[in-house]
Structure 1
Amino acid sequence: MSVKDYIRTIPDFPAPGIMFRDVTTLFGDPRGFRMAVDQLLLPWAGVRINKVAGLEARGFILGGAVAHQLSAGFVPMRKKGKLPGRTIEQAYKLEYGTAVLEVHDDAIRPGEKVLLVDDLLATGGTAEAGLSLIGQLGGDAVGCAFVVDLPDLGGRQLLETTGHRVHALCSFAGH
């Protein structure tokens, strides 16, 4: 089996015409989850990574597991207003409007190597905001790892055009 075999598709969620790629079925299977974590970090085997940044919310699940495997620290990147203490923020575009991503202002030290992790790459807006926050703190983003890529929505192209290495375990056509 491949990672893709563990992902459930839910039609018409959250809106008609959307095929929602649900990774909770992957998380719920010990073999599938282990396979995903191992494959997410594979391209960076032998690379010293200091921190793994996970994007809210499923990126926390994956990022924490990847950080553990890499013996790296974990950095949560959250929606505005969810982190205590001093933060920096980055606005990004959604399909209908904007949102803001935050990280603690001391979460990444200058020069630290950081891997960005999330479950799904769609338009790339959230990942782009996360990469911007890593850069603002002086971190060196070594790449981005996703379970699912939706290439029709252009996120991979956006991130690669800005010079970032993108690794995805599987892809699905459409949105």
Structure 2
Amino acid sequence: MSGCKEEDSRIHSIRTTIRVVPNFPKPGIMFQDITTLLLDPKAFKNTVDLFVERYKQKNISVVAGIEARGFIFGPPIALAIGAKFVPLRKPRKLPGEVISEEYVLEYGTDCLEMHIGAVEPGECALVVDDLIATGGTLCAAMNLLERVGAEVVECACIIEIPELKGRERLKGKPLFTLLESH
């Protein structure tokens, strides 16, 4: 479900702040750069507010943010809804014991790690990232959380690239996005 109605003026303001960088990180990729959104405090706040409005009454106890851009949006969402924030990081970035999950990207492979004990069985989790392309990163995040007994309530991203069909890989889990790339 693409989340918000295009009539919402906040969506328009968010869309206009996102820059597209051609051929990054490799030829043929049209990189959706949200760092320009972060330069606009109103658009940044609107982005966080739209997610908070959606999740504040859903009894979510864990917001899991995917490195790196999920770290930008996950903590303010977690604070606003009264949940803890759990970082899902690239290999060898977390001290202590971790579990890992490898996955395939549209332009390579990668791995996510999570601290053992950060999430308890039965907790309700929200996975946050900036964008869904092929869905590999979100699937890896969900796998990590489900392996420790959490229930993934939903995945939330600012942008969806529908032609890459990432939504289809999410094992039926709901996906909420603010906008689609064109």
Q: Which TM class, normalised by the smaller chain length?
A: over 0.9
Q: SS at the partner of 2:70?
A: helix
**What CA distance in whole angstroms lies between the structure 2 residues aligned with 1:47 and 1:97?**
35
Q: State the Cα deviation string for residues 106-126 of structure 1 (Å, max 9, x = none).
A: 110111111000001000101
1:166 pairs with 2:175: yes
Q: Residue 78 of structure 1 corresponds to which residue in structure 2?
A: 89
Residue range with higher mean Cα deviation, 9-18 or 130-139: 9-18
- Give the letter aligned to residue 106 of structure 1: G
- The number of aligned residues is 171
| TM-score, length basis structure 2 | 0.89
Mapped to 1, the partners of 2:22 and 2:111 lie a distance apart of 28
Offset of residue 136 of structure 1:
0.7
**Helix, strand or coil: the match of 1:134?**
helix
Tell me by how many angstroms 1:38 deviates: 1.2
The runs of 4+ residues in structure 1 deviating greater than 6 Å are none
- What letter is aligned with 1:7? I
How much does 1:65 deviate?
1.3
**Greater displacement, 12-21 / 130-139:** 12-21
1:57-68 matches, within 5 Å, as 57-68=68-79
1:107 aligns with: 118
Question: Which segment is superposed worse, 122-131 or 95-104?
Answer: 95-104
Unaligned runs of 5+ in 1: none
The share of aligned pairs that are identical, in percent, is 46
What TM-score do you get using the length of structure 1 for normalisation?
0.93
Work out whether residues 40 and 168 of structure 1, in 8 Å CA contact, stay in contact via their aligned partners in 2. Answer: no
Q: Distance between the aligned counterparts of 1:94 and 1:17, measured in 2?
A: 14
SS at match of 2:177: strand
- Corresponding residue SS for 2:118: coil
How far did 1:98 drift?
Answer: 2.4
**Maintained 8 Å contact 1:40/1:146:** no
What CA distance in whole angstroms lies between the structure 2 residues aligned with 1:42 and 1:62? Answer: 14
The 8 Å contact of residues 55 and 81 in structure 2, kept in 1 or not, is answered as no
Counterpart residue identity of residue 166, structure 2: G
Alignment of 1:1-175 (within 5 A): 1=9, 2=12, 3-159=14-170, 162-173=171-182
Whether contact under 8 Å (1:54, 1:118) holds in the other structure is yes
Contact 1:40 1:147 in 2 (8 A): no
Whole-angstrom distance in 2 between the partners of 1:128 and 1:42: 24
- Residue pair 1:26, 1:33 contacting (<8 A) in 2 also: yes
Structure 2 distance, partners of 1:11, 1:54, is: 26
TM-fit CA distance, 1:60: 0.4
Please, what is the CA RMSD of the aligned residues?
1.3
